Each structure stands twice: as structure tokens, then as C-alpha cells.
Amino acid sequence: MIGIIDYGMGNLGSVRNACRFLGIPAEILASPARARDCRALILPGVGAFGDGIAHLRERGWAGTLEAWVADGRPLLGICLGLQLLFEESEESPGARGLGWIQGRVRRFPAAPGLKVPHMGWNRVHQTRPDPVWEGAPDGSHFYFVHSYFAEPADPSVVAGRTNYGVEFCSVVRWRSVFAVQFHPEKSQRVGLRLLGNFARQGGMAVEGEAVQ
């Protein structure tokens, strides 16, 4: 089973529905104790960086996730779930993220003709091979909704880049963590493909082969 972490940030139903479409057992987890029944976890999220990290810690998820990743178990971060892996964000000065990946989260700079938030379809250019990319062509379009982007100190963790006025990191791979700034559950066939590949990393069968 995939566990979808509920820490009070964002709509989790669309992630669960995408997993169910693929035939992957998925459950929204309100308590870290339920993680013991899972083979992989998804950390989604929509909202402010400071609120997100505060809720993770208040609900006991921060330590559970750290132990999960130390054991080498698969974790998928989505949108805010990617940003929280970093040390800090311009969105919430003084708030400390999980800090697993060195670097900070920055707001998109003002640019003529570009609206913030970055909302809609955009290309992701793969910068390193990864099993989660299998069957997803380089340059595929994914659906984004965000005003801030991650800026890793170590470029080797970047697995995908996207251009929106500036070229930014849209995908990271760090140990057993694969995290994306876009929303795979809203990205049609190619997004479902990524979710299926992630589930396979956790040793789960995927029935929705039509996404190939």
C-alpha cells in the first residue's frame, strides 16, 4: 500500500484517485503510526512553507519521515512536498525545513509577460536518468501551480529542470526520495506513468498499463 500523508496541507483526494486508477492500493494517513503498513509514502502539499513544516512537526511526521528515508524506503514529494525537503524558503523567513537537501526555496522574479504563480502546463527536461522516468519522454509537459522554486546547493540532486523566465529545478532525486514541483496526479498520461513507476519502486503491481 502507498500511504498519502495528511498533515493538513492541500487536497489529497486527487492523489489517492490517481493511485486507485492505476490499481495501486492507497490510503490517506492521518497518523504516522499507519506508515508501518505502507511500502511507499507520498508527501503532497499545497500552501505556505512555514505552515507546512509546522504541521509536519506538530503531527509527528518529521521524525517518521527521517527514519523512513534512513531505511532507504521510497518517498515521493509533490509540490510543497518537494520544497519542504530544503533548509529554508523566502516565503516563510525564519522557518526551517526538513533540511535533507542543502539549499533554499526562492520566489520567481518579476519578468515581463510572466505571471506569478506559475500555473499551467510546462516542459520538464530530464537531467539525470532515474527509474521513475521510465516511459516518460524527455521534454514531456506536466501541470504546475506554484510561486516558489527550489534552488539546491548541490546540482547533482537535480533530476529535472523547467524554464519559466528562469531555468529552475523542477525534480530532485536524493537517496530514496524522488520529488517533483509539478502535480503528476493532474498531468494526465505521463503523470500517471510517473506515479506507476514510483509504485513499482516500492514493489507494488500497477494495473493501469494503458498509461504507457
What are the catalytic residues? 79, 183, 185
Residue pair 177/132 in contact by the 8 Å Cβ criterion: no
Burial (0-12, 13-18, 19+ Cβ within 10 Å), 7:
buried
Coil, strand or helix at 169: strand
**What number of CA atoms fall less than 13 Å from residue 43's CA on the CB side?**
28
C-alpha 104/C-alpha 89 separation (Å) is: 5
Q: Which residues pair with 163 in a beta bridge?
A: 167
CA distances from 183 to 46, 102, 113, 186 (A): 10, 23, 23, 5
Please state whether the peptide bond connecting residue 117 to the residue before it is cis, i.e. omega within 30 degrees of 0: yes
* CA quadruple 82, 92, 51, 85: dihedral, nearest 10: 20
